[in-house]
Every structure is written in structure tokens, then in C-alpha cells.
């Protein structure tokens, strides 16, 4: 089973629109939305939830003020400044390390499982989708990403699907590292802006570090000819094939508003045609 992960470094370059288009083009696949912080793929795929489960990515400390002797040990030990001088524990500050609970001489602190999100397996018109929702102001998005990927793998195995297409998150940190672990290939969606290029270079360095085959697609390539050229030069120098150059098209936004992929909304649009060509290359490369 192959895993294709779509990431970008910079946010808002068009990852999810391109994943939606690939979802319309690819056969026999499972889709996974690993941008658990700000998941959007479901807005296009209109999923019917078949199964959902709570996700607990860690625990949180709770302090019993009846038992607390206010000795200050927990304040002294907490590296995350999560306990204030009135012995209140901050829900967002607590990292769940349990050090305060372990060393409290009065046994006043206990650790409790924290429900920090939910994940779903759904049916869509393009096949199964595994997606998730991180709770408000929660952490552990990396762990939830790993969980979504595991469930997508199980779904793919159970249904004999040969491919998982994963929509990743922006950045290069914890959720991105979790999303690209074990990938067969990564597609970086970039845009020809000074920030798009800068961020693409960093995310390409990351996939290079993990030795994952990487392809690049330049979205809105006609916005800035000079930076498109510099992007292609960087890719040529680093041995990263540019497999698609998608023009700046208002139809991409219109398709999103119609809750469709560009392939359904405007199959003859130049952007749709370019994504079809790109998919032909990717499909071959993934064989």
C-alpha cells in the first residue's frame, strides 16, 4: 500500500484543493485529512460519518485543594509554568508530564486522561475518508495525526485499497513530521512568492532529511515568472522534480464554494487539466 502526503510549508498554497482534485482522479484509495488543527477536506467531500471515536493524546494534572499543603514543590518542579501561586493548574499550560503528581508529598495531584479530539471514518463519493477534529485549544496534534494515519491504513487494508492520499498541515514541525513518517512520496504544493519559495525550501529540506521521495507542484505559477523560475532552479539543483504548474484560476475558489473539486466543477479548466496531467505522472511514480 502506498501513501502520498500533500504538504506545503507555507499555508494557503492550495493543498486541500489539490487533494480534493486528486481524490476525484485517483481510483481505489483512502483519503486522510491530517491537518487536524484546521481540517477542511470534509467541506468538499461531504462525508457521511460511519464511525467516530474520542481521542486522548495525553493526560492533565488535577489538584485537590483539600489535600494540598501548599508546600510549593509542584511550582518548583513544573517546567511549563502551568501552576500558579494559588495552586490553580492551567489547562492549556499543562503538558501532562506528571512530574508534579509524582513528587507531591501530600498526594494532592492526580493525572487524568484528557480527551483532546475526535476522529472519524466516513464514506464519501470518492471513497473512505479518515478525518479528525482537535478539541478547542488542545495540543497533541502530532499524536492525532499518527492516529488518523493508522486508522486510514486499517481502512485501506480492510477494503483492499492500494493508496492513501493524505492532506497534511502547513509548517515543518510536529504534525508535519508525523504526517510524512512512512510516506511513499510527498507532493509539495508551493506558490511563486518570496515566502512560498522560502517555506518550500525548508519543507524540502525536511523530506530530504527523512529521505522521502519528493515532488513539487507550483500553484498560481503565473503570478510571478521570476520566482517560478527560481523555484524550478532550486528543484533542479536538489533533484526534486516539478511535476505540475497550475495557473492562477478563479474557478478553484468557485469550486470550493460549490463544495466540489475543480475536476468536477470545471473539468476543462486549464487548472483542472494540469492537475490531471500531474496525476498521470504521480500515478506512474507511485507504481
Partner 1 sequence: MIIAIASGKGGTGKTTLSVALSSYISSRGVPVNIFDCDVDEPNVNLFLQADIAVRETVYVPVPRIHKELCNGCGQCEDICMFNAVVLIKGDPLVFPDLCHSCGGCMHVCPEKAVTEVDKEIGTTEEGYVGTIQYVGGILRVREAITPPLIKAVKKHIEQDRINIIDAPPGTSCPVIESVEGCNYLVLVTEPTPFGLNDLILAVNMAREIGIPFGIVINRADIGDDRVIRYCEEENIQIIGKIPDSREVAERYSRGEFAGYFIEHFSDVLENILKAAGVSKIEAWRKQ
Q: At what angle do helices 15-25 and 270-286 cross, to 10 degrees?
A: 70
Least CB distance to partner 1 at residue 176 (A): 8
How far is Cα of residue 214 from the mean position of the Cα atoms in its chain?
16
Edge to edge, the sheet with strand 163-167 lists 48-63, 109-124, 127-134, 29-33, 163-167, 2-7, 185-190, 214-219, 242-246
- Distance of closest approach, residue 161 Cβ to partner 1, in angstroms: 26
Q: Based on CB atoms, which residue is closest to partner 1, 2 or 98?
A: 98
Taking the complex as a whole, how short is the minimal distance between the CB of residue 235 and partner 1, in angstroms? Answer: 17
Length of the chain: 287
Rounded to whole angstroms, the Cα distance separating 168 from 10 reads 11
Q: How far is the CB of 263 from partner 1 (least distance, A)?
A: 17
Q: Smallest distance, Å, CB 280 to partner 1?
A: 27
For residue 50, report the phi and psi dihedrals to the nearest 5 degrees: -100, -30
Cβ proximity to partner 1: between 4 and 197 the closer is 197
List contacts with partner 1 (CB under 8 A).
8-13, 16, 37-40, 43, 58-59, 77, 79-80, 92, 95-99, 102-103, 134, 136-142, 169-177, 191-196, 198-199, 202-203, 205-206, 209-210, 223-224, 227, 250, 253, 256-257, 259
Q: Give the whole-angstrom CA distance, residue 270 versus residue 155.
A: 34
Say if CB 119 and CB 91 are below 8 A apart. no
Smallest gap from Cβ 203 to partner 1, in A, equals: 8
Residue (13 or 269) nearer to partner 1, CB: 13
Residue 243: how many CA atoms within 13 Å on its side-chain side? 23
Between 1 and 174, name the residue whose CB sits nearer to partner 1: 174
- Please, which residue, 77 or 286, has the CB nearer to partner 1? 77
**CB of 249 vs partner 1, minimal distance in Å:** 12
Amino acid at each position: 500500500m502506498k501513501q502520498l502526503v500533500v504538504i506545503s510549508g507555507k499555508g494557503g498554497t492550495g493543498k486541500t484543493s489539490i487533494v480534493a482534485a486528486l481524490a476525484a482522479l485517483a481510483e481505489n484509495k483512502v483519503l486522510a485529512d491530517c491537518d487536524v488543527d484546521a481540517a477542511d477536506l470534509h467541506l468538499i467531500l461531504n462525508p457521511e460519518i460511519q464511525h467516530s471515536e474520542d481521542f486522548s493524546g495525553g493526560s492533565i494534572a488535577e489538584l485537590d485543594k483539600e489535600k494540598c499543603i501548599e508546600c510549593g514543590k509542584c511550582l518548583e518542579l513544573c517546567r511549563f509554568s502551568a501552576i500558579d501561586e494559588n495552586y490553580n493548574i492551567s489547562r492549556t499550560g499543562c503538558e501532562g508530564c506528571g512530574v508534579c503528581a509524582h513528587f507531591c508529598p501530600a498526594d494532592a495531584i492526580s493525572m487524568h486522561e484528557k480527551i483532546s479530539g475526535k476522529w472519524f471514518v466516513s464514506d464519501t463519493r470518492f471513497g473512505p475518508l479518515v478525518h479528525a477534529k482537535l478539541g478547542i485549544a488542545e495540543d497533541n496534534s502530532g499524536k492525532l495525526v499518527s492516529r488518523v494515519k493508522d486508522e486510514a491504513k486499517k481502512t485501506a487494508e480492510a477494503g483492499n485499497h492500494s493508496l492513501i492520499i493524505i492532506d497534511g498541515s502547513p509548517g515543518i514541525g510536529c504534525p508535519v513530521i508525523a504526517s510524512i513518517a512512512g510516506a511513499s512520496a510527498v507532493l509539495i504544493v508551493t506558490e511563486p512568492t518570496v515566502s512560498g519559495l522560502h517555506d518550500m525550501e525548508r519543507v524540502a529540506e525536511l523530506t530530504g532529511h527523512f529521505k522521502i521521495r519528493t515532488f513539487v507542484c507550483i500553484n498560481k505559477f503565473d503570478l510571478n515568472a521570476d520566482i517560478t523560475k527560481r523555484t524550478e532552479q532550486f528543484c533542479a539543483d536538489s533533484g526534486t522534480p516539478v511535476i505540475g504548474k497550475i495557473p492562477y484560476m478563479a474557478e478553484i475558489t468557485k469550486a470550493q464554494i460549490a463544495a466540489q473539486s475543480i475536476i468536477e466543477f470545471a473539468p476543462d479548466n486549464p487548472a483542472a487539466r494540469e492537475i490531471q496531467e500531474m496525476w498521470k505522472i504521480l500515478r506512474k511514480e507511485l507504481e
